[in-house]
Amino acid sequence: MHEVGIAQEVLKIIEASAAGQGDGRIRKLRLKIGEFSGVEAEALRFALEVCSTGTRAEGMDVEIEKVPATAGCRDCSETWEFSLAHRVCPACGSSTIDLVAGHDLAVESFEMD
């Protein structure tokens, strides 16, 4: 389960960012997880719960926004919600495309007491 390693890295990021903001407890974390990131949202939520035990992030609320996959056409610059059923540009029919969103994982924000 690679979500444990991801949870550990997320906790490092928020702990480092929170270090200069006092000794308060981290009470809420907001994440964005791309549809094609390979990260299972609920597995990551569970891993964060387990990995945060004994830290100031223990018991924090975790909000996860799922980001749909979005593709962009290299030929005509059209963008659309990508799926395996929609792998070509709907505007020009080109298959020369890039995945421009939906493969990422990001700490959007966190709140402290």
For 111, the token pair is 């709140």
Size of the chain in residues: 113
Domain 3-112 is found in CATH 3.30.2320.80:
yes
> How deeply is 46 buried, as exposed, middle or buried, from its count of CB atoms within 10 A (0-12, 13-18, 19+)?
middle
CA distances from 58 to 11, 38, 84, 89 (A): 10, 25, 39, 45
Show me where the domains of the chain are located.
Answer: 3-112
Q: β-pairing, 79-81 with 105-112?
A: unpaired
pLDDT of residue 1: 58
pTM of the model: 0.85
pLDDT of residue 86: 85
pLDDT of residue 99: 93
Structure confidence by residue, pLDDT tens digits, 70-93: 999 999 999 999 998 889 999 999
CA distances from 104 to 35, 38, 87, 93, 100 (A): 8, 9, 19, 26, 10
